[in-house]
Chains A and B, each alone.
Chain A
């Protein structure tokens, strides 16, 4: 199976042109093509995972094969290759599974949309790029697909291109990521300059023995900029909340479960690079930790259901990055997996709600539980999982991160993580209490979504419950012995940490119940009391405004200045030369007076001048 792993991206890659050029007119057929393709990939992916497990392919003994895509003898060899190790296998499974479910869900969600077929085309293109990114065996290839997923995200965010806001959000997402990619690209240029290869394993072999730490640090930091953008870490997180302009399935698949996780995946892939540089690791850890807290605080005050989930996503991604930073690649990937399931579930649930209500402001919802039982219950399960209550998936993965932070002596980050856990529980249940309980708002008549939509919800719900067990501490040969860096280490369960995290989670839920569980005016009072903080949070720390100012005033101002310079100064100089020529012509022409005696005079004067010029040496000789 593994030796056909390269087919996994190929299926959806073929589906895209097929849909766009052939079946676009036939809507349902297009959907089928897309689903069939990703389904095939899913089957392959499971097969690959199975083979990895059975044939004992481990992180140290991966399977790799490649063909040269572009080569310049002796200088450059760029491979198109496949690298399969447990990391890849897991990632493949997660991506194909979520993608499959989301596409099925979309049949119901997008039904009736004019761009139905195109939508599935884009989804297929995205899946292809994402899977390509996952199987990539070198930096160049990963960057290649990295950019392509960026493109798909741009296309899908701007899918409703008639909405200016959507178009703007797409642009913002692409440009923000571009900034990050610039860093990423420089990063692996530095690596190439130092080692002359892009290949992960060759680099992994070479890096430990490389002396010039400063150079390597520079490279590592630059590479890390990539994830900062893709995984929406502070300060490049701004694009992700706006990305919610896209259709909800897109938010679920791309901007929650898979693409945004690509950054974390890259960190895992390049882990050898960072692991050797404690300083960089620290940076990563704190960027992640800070983002987690920062985003959580914003999520607390948002009203739009998708934005709350978006900030929660940012926050959780921060968690994963932090996990990488504290040195536990296992924990990071583990959380990536579980998060993929329950966050996708949350978004799809939200989508189902929006689909029913055409409404996104949670404070205009309420009592949805009565009308949409499936949606609501699955949503709650996912929320509990995210909040980290045992025995749900989220609990295990988050606990592993906290344990790692604590265990590796990052106490500060540990506390911070715990705080985030509290906030997470709080804002999730704030959402739930407001939207799903309480009494119906007037004018809103919700109805449960069709099976195509609820089906995926149920599957994901199941996963959100069980997925955690693969990595539970009491499982001897679990996730941690499967996906790891360096030595497979089985961390012993740290019950203190477990207990505390559960406690804070419960506390959060309780607080949410106190404030929002029943009618009360406390929230308003608090908002009044701490107005400054409240506005700061509502306005997301004014970071968007800052970037706006930076672009409009600074960048465009500079551009205008350049433009003026080009049009007036530079052009002025060259046109000036032309004018001088022309004018001097007009002036010189006046010498031609028309009077023949003047002409004669000129002639004789010239003769005299020439004579003197020639005679000068002779006369000079006479004088001496």
Chain B
């Protein structure tokens, strides 16, 4: 059997973790280097996998199967398709840059990197699992380290935020677990064999009632993670409280777990259920986009702005999912990737500023571009990405989502409302986004020089690694989107095929 590249990607952090366990606490640099090495191995392998992936053939590749609990048909089976591969790459990039972004960490360094690597292992696991049981298992593995990371190394209201985040995520996942078990049992009856393999589960014909119920459970379970309004509150608080690297990983990757799960375990398994609940998702996504962006506009704390902007941007992903067609789903996945990179960039830079200025209050800043031009430039580019400027990855993603949802012409509420209206409302978010992002840029970086910040030194050396890597990624996929979309599309095709095969049923309203 060929080299298990995916397992290697996942286990590289574990190896790093075990090494760090035996390194004495005071060897801080060694610890950091070990972490960097471990994550860079993951990154290189992830890039390799991305390059080696055969788009033409599509489907799941780099498969690996090990029977695990035969009695329940649980296998350790991994593999990536066009949908998960970009997310694996995303995770690798974000964690790699995240390690460098936390280079200035000095408090309980050893534990920090141990938990961080533990966390990322779980995240990798989720994206590569083909087995629902492991999918869930890995997801939960990621939660507790998160609690400790935020609780110990966090900043504002950290204990509250950490607990809030943990409970939201766990309660959400509880529903997902019920849904998974129910699906498993249903399928076991119809297949005559117990299995958690998603592909096999997808071959079962679930009756409508079950689909509605199961999809709803998945919607709550993974929706909390996305986060879908009104279950979103853990995310701004969590982002703000979390230390830089964790915010990056958290907003950059963890939220994507939700959307990914919603597509994989929701839409893919229960297309009819998805059709049924789609209008609800669409409406909520508008709340996410518009309401989230509006709130972001009046935040006083840089991280809160980014936090709510994430809520707003993930709304687009939801829109893409709700529209349930090829374009929109491609866009949704692309948006997951793009937003992950973009928001990671934001948090890296904000973290950099915070570490030096010990405040994130926008009102106190102003004219920072004089002292930290690089940071300013990076932040501006991030801002342009988030407001969907052509040439950057987010634009492609948002454009596809908009196209997809816009070309979906479905009457809701008995013709009172059309899906197209909803998508137009959502698209209007681009204006609000532009407003709040550029206002923040203006108030923070532009304007007259403030002598009180003259002691701040611009990002330099290792600190530039995240900035450069992330911006480069944004540009690469922004200018050559086919590198990304071709892969994603190969993963979306089967899902859309299922949606179209599903019988056309009306939405919930």
Partners in one complex: yes
Task: Using CB atoms and an 8 Å cutoff, list the residues of chain A in contact with chain B.
Answer: 68-73, 75-76, 143-145, 147-148, 151, 154, 158, 161-164, 166-168, 170-171, 174-175, 178-179, 181-182, 185-186, 189, 192-193, 555-556, 558-560, 562-563, 566, 570-571, 573-574, 578
B295 near A562 (CB under 8 angstroms)? yes
Assuming A179-B431, A189-B406, is B297 touching A161 (CB within 8 A)?
A: no
CB-CB contacts of B226-262 with A at 8 A, as 1s and 0s?
0000100100000000000000000000000000000
Number of interface residues of B (CB under 8 A): 48
Q: Mark B476-488, 1 if CB is under 8 A from A, else 0.
A: 0000011001000
Given known A161-B369, A175-B434, contact A144–B391 (CB-CB < 8 A): yes
Contact among A158, A168, A562 with B294 in the assembled complex (CB-CB below 8 Å): A562
Q: Which residues of B contact A562 (CB under 8 A)?
A: 291, 294-295
Contact of B390 among A148, A164, A556, A558 (CB under 8 A): A148
Q: Contacts A76-B403, A164-B448, A178-B431 given; indicate if A148 touches B391 (C-beta within 8 A).
A: yes
- B431–A558 contact, CB under 8 A? no
B438–A151 touching, CB < 8 Å: no
Shortest CB-to-CB span from A283 to chain B, Å, is: 20
B233 touches A570 (CB 8 A): yes
- Sorted nearest first, the 9 A-B pairs with minimum C-beta distance are A167-B446, A144-B390, A559-B294, A161-B446, A178-B434, A559-B298, A167-B442, A164-B447, A189-B406
**A573 CB contacts on chain B under 8 angstroms:** 230
Chain A residues near B299 (CB-CB < 8 A): 563
Contact status A192-B407, CB under 8 Å: yes
CA distance A398 to B434 in the complex (A): 37
> In the complex, are the beta carbons of A171 and B442 less than 8 A apart?
yes
In the bound complex, how far is the Cα of B298 from the Cα of A192, in angstroms?
36
Q: Mark B384-413, 1 if CB is under 8 A from A, else 0.
A: 100101110001100010110011010000
How many angstroms between the C-alpha atoms of A562 and B292 in the bound complex? 9
Shortest beta-carbon distance from B437 to chain A in Å: 10
- B295 adjacent to A192 (CB under 8 Å): no
Say whether B438 contacts A171, CB under 8 Å: yes
CA distance A562 to B482 in the complex (A): 39
Q: A178 — which chain B residues lie within 8 A by C-beta?
A: 387, 430-431, 434-435
> Chain B residues with Cβ under 8 A from A76's Cβ?
327, 400, 403
B335 part of interface (Cβ distance < 8 Å): no
Most buried by B among A192, A555, A563: A563
Q: Determine whether the beta carbon of A72 is less than 8 Å from that of B326.
A: yes
Determine whether B424 belongs to the interface, using a CB cutoff of 8 Å to chain A: yes
A193 touches B407 (CB 8 A): yes
In the bound complex, residues from chain A placing their C-beta under 8 Å from that of B233 are 566, 570-571, 574
The reply to whether A162 and B442 form a contact with Cβ atoms under 8 Å apart is: no
Q: At the interface, yes or no: B370 with Cβ under 8 Å from chain A?
A: yes
Chain B residues near A189 (CB-CB < 8 A): 402-403, 406-407
Judged by a CB distance under 8 angstroms, whether B330 is at the interface is yes
Instruction: Say yes or no for B112: interface residue by CB 8 A criterion.
Output: no
A99 and B295 CA atoms in complex are apart in Å by 41
Asked whether A186 and B427 contact (CB < 8 A) given A148-B390, A559-B295, the answer is yes
Contact with A along B285-329 (1 / 0, CB 8 A): 000000100110111000000000000000000000000001100
B374 at interface, CB cutoff 8 A: no
The reply to whether A72 and B430 contact each other, CB–CB distance below 8 Å, is: no
Contact residue among B295, B430, B431, B446 (Cβ-Cβ distance under 8 Å from A164): B446
B428 beta carbon closer than 8 Å to chain A: yes
Q: From B408, which residue of chain A is reached at the shortest CB distance? A: A193
Give me 9 other A-B pairs in contact (C-beta within 8 A), A71-B482, A189-B406, A563-B299 excluded: A69-B481, A148-B390, A151-B389, A162-B449, A171-B442, A175-B435, A182-B431, A186-B427, A562-B291
Which residues of the partner chain A approach B26 to less than 8 Å between Cβ atoms? none
Which secondary structure dominates where chain B touches chain A?
Answer: helix
Task: Confirm or deny: B129 has a beta carbon within 8 angstroms of a beta carbon on chain A.
Answer: no
The 23 sampled A-B contact pairs (Cβ below 8 Å) are: A70-B481, A71-B482, A72-B489, A144-B390, A148-B390, A148-B391, A161-B446, A161-B447, A164-B446, A164-B448, A170-B442, A178-B431, A179-B431, A189-B403, A192-B403, A193-B407, A555-B294, A556-B297, A558-B294, A560-B298, A563-B295, A570-B233, A574-B168
**Contact pattern, B 258-300, Cβ under 8 Å of A = 1, otherwise 0:** 0000000000000000000000000000000001001101110
Taking the closest CB of chain A, its distance from the CB of B190, in whole angstroms, is 33
How far apart are the CA atoms of A168 and B442 in the complex, in Å? 7
- Residues on B with C-beta less than 8 A from A570 are 230, 233
List residues of chain B with CB within 8 A of the CB of A556. Answer: 297-298
Measured in the bound complex, the distance between the Cα atoms of B233 and A151 in whole Å is: 33
Please tell me if the beta carbons of A193 and B389 are within 8 angstroms of each other in the complex.
Answer: no
A residues near B205, Cβ cutoff 8 Å: none
Write out the residue numbers on chain B whose beta carbons fall within 8 Å of the beta carbon of A75.
326-327
User: B439: CB under 8 A from chain A?
Assistant: yes
Look across to chain A and name the residue whose beta carbon is closest to the beta carbon of B424. A186
Cα(A291)–Cα(B409), bound, Å: 37
Q: Among B326, B367, B447, which residue has the most Cβ atoms of chain A within 10 A?
A: B447
CA distance A158 to B298 in the complex (A): 23
**Cβ–Cβ < 8 Å partners of B447 in chain A:** 161-164, 167
B346 at the interface (CB under 8 A from A): no
| Bound complex: CA A182 to CA B407 (Å) | 16
Contact for B482 among A70, A166, A559, A578, CB less than 8 A = A70
A71–B481 CA distance with the chains assembled, in angstroms? 9
Given A182-B431, A189-B403, verify A174-B438 contact (CB < 8 Å).
yes
Q: Beyond A171-B439, A192-B403, A566-B295, is A69–B431 a contact (Cβ under 8 Å)?
A: no
A559 and B403 contact, CB distance less than 8 A:
no
A193 to B369, CA, bound (A): 43
Min Cβ gap B303→A in Å is 15
Chain A residues positioned under 8 Å from B431 (CB to CB): 175, 178-179, 182
Contact residues in A for B482 (Cβ distance below 8 Å):
68-71
A72 to B431, CA, bound (A): 27
Nearest chain-B residue to A180 (Cβ)?
B431
- Contact (Cβ within 8 A) B327 A559: no
A562 to B236, CA, bound (A): 14
Q: Does B167 contact A (CB under 8 A)?
A: yes
Q: Which residues of B contact A147 (CB under 8 A)?
A: 389-390, 395
- Shortest beta-carbon distance from B458 to chain A in Å: 15
Cβ–Cβ < 8 Å partners of B96 in chain A = none
Question: In the bound complex, do residue B390 and residue A559 qualify as a contact, i.e. CB atoms below 8 Å apart?
Answer: no
With a cutoff of 8 Å between Cβ atoms, the chain B residues found around residue A179 in the complex are: 431
Interface presence of B445 (CB below 8 A): yes
Residue of A nearest to B167 (CB): A578
Inter-chain contacts of A578 with B (CB < 8 A): 167
Question: For residue B442, which residues in chain A have a CB less than 8 angstroms away from its CB?
Answer: 167-168, 170-171
- The reply to whether A151 and B384 contact each other, CB–CB distance below 8 Å, is yes
Max count, chain A CB within 10 A of own CB: residue among B298, B396, B407, B431: B298
Residues of the B chain whose Cβ atoms lie less than 8 Å from the Cβ of A563: 294-295, 298-299
Option from B294, B297, B396, B402 in Cβ contact (under 8 Å) with A70 = B396
Write the B202-231 contact mask toward A (1 if CB under 8 angstroms, else 0).
000000000000000000000000000010
Most A CB contacts (10 A, CB to CB) among B384, B402, B438 go to B438
Q: Give CA–CA (A314, B439) in the complex, Å.
A: 26
Residues of B within 8 Å of A162, CB to CB, are: 367, 370, 446-449
